Amino acid sequence: MCLNVDVVVDCCQEFVMGLSLLLRGTLLEKLEWTFNLYDINRDGIITADEMYMIVSSVYDIIGNFTEPRVDENSIRDHVDSVFNVRRMHGVP
């Protein structure tokens, strides 16, 4: 495997900047960062599928450390419950 040093440096800088923002940023900056994390296609809307992909990715990372292990159906149920709450409050 060949690593491009510029890409690695860019990734490290982006990671450190994101970490700094999450630790020291304002509430608005943290909310914007989080929204942009979930808005994968950058269209200004977080869909259930986008949320499912991010939540699944998080569980892929931490899955071996959770007990009981979270399965795909539980993730889908959790995302659906978030979107059901949104609908109850009139958010399309």
CB closer to Ca ion out of 21 and 40:
40
Q: What is the DSSP string of the chain?
A: ----HHHHHHHHHHHHHHHHHHHHS-HHHHHHHHHHHH-TT-SS---HHHHHHHHHHHHHHHGGGSSSPPPHHHHHHHHHHHHHHHHHTT--
- The distance of closest approach from Cβ of residue 45 to Ca ion in the complex, given in angstroms and rounded to an integer, is 5
Kindly write out the interface string for residues 60-89 of this chain, putting x where it contacts Ca ion by CB under 5 A and - elsewhere.
------------------------------
Instruction: Out of 45, 48, 58, 85, name the contact with Ca ion by CB under 5 A.
Output: 45
Number of residues near Ca ion (by CB under 5 A)? 4
Interacting residue ranges for Ca ion, rule: CB under 5 A: 39, 41, 43, 45
